[in-house]
């Protein structure tokens, strides 16, 4: 489970990044932001979690 500061840091954002900063990051990543801030946040949390799971996986 990632808290707000953790997922923001994983994406290179400040731990206290505001809605505008998150929306700008999403636009930079995918060319456009989502319709709502909740969707922007969910996308970022999922991407950060995925990124961490790749880094932390043990080799088989």
Count of the separate structural domains present in the chain? 1
Instruction: List the domain range (segments joined by +) for residue 41.
Output: 4-56
Band of the pLDDT at 5, cuts 50, 70, 90? very high
CA 26 to chain centroid: 8
Encode pLDDT of 17-58 as tens digits.
Answer: 999 999 999 999 999 999 999 999 999 999 999 998 876 656
pTM of the model: 0.84
pLDDT of residue 41: 97
pLDDT of residue 56: 60
What is the arithmetic mean of pLDDT over 1-13? 93
């Amino acid at each position: 489970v990632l808290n707000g500061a953790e997922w923001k840091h994983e994406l290179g954002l400040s731990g206290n990044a505001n809605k505008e900063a998150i929306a700008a990051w999403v636009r930079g990543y995918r060319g456009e932001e989502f319709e709502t801030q909740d969707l922007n946040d969910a996308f970022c949390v999922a991407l950060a979690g995925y990124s961490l799971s790749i880094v932390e996986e043990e080799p088989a």
